[in-house]
């Protein structure tokens, strides 16, 4: 959503994840994954953090919601209570480029202190 502060995560999408119960089926994991991906621009290192959850989608016959899945799920719920606001850069101050490289994911973000 575009507001006077910048680009903000849709509060209804955040609320939908925050109010979700832990998934019990592959269909519920698919629903969670879709919701997370729709907010991906606001969640740094999504692929890495959601790795245990996304792995369940590759092996739907062996569904097991592990402690790692639950931990990732809880961290997303906590994070989405106050998601970041994306703002237009100020060209008079420095931009910082952060790179994160993991075994199965690469991400980058450009940030600026306000």
Q: What are the extents of the domains in the chain?
A: 2-87
Q: What is the pLDDT of residue 107?
A: 81
Residues in the chain: 114
Indicate the burial class of 56 (C-beta count within 10 angstroms; 0-12, 13-18, 19 or more). Answer: buried
pLDDT exceeds 80 at position 49: yes
Q: Could you read off the pLDDT of 21-30 as tens digits, one per residue?
A: 999 999 999 9
- Regarding the domain delimited by 2-87, which CATH topology (the fold level of the hierarchy) does it fall under? Alpha-Beta Plaits (3.30.70)
- Considering the chain, what is the average pLDDT of its residues? 92
Q: Are 46 and 40 in contact (CB under 8 A)?
A: yes
Read off the pTM. 0.80
């Amino acid at each position: 959503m575009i507001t006077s502060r910048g680009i903000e995560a849709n509060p209804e999408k955040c609320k939908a994840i925050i109010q979700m119960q832990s998934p019990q089926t592959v269909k519920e994991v698919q629903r969670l994954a879709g919701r997370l991906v729709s907010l991906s621009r606001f969640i740094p290192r999504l692929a890495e953090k959601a790795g245990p959850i996304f792995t369940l989608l590759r092996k739907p016959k062996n569904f097991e919601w592990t402690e790692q899945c639950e931990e990732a799920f809880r961290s997303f719920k906590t994070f989405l209570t106050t998601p970041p606001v994306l703002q237009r850069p100020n060209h008079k101050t420095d931009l910082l480029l952060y790179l994160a490289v993991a075994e199965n994911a690469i991400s980058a973000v450009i940030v600026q202190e306000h």
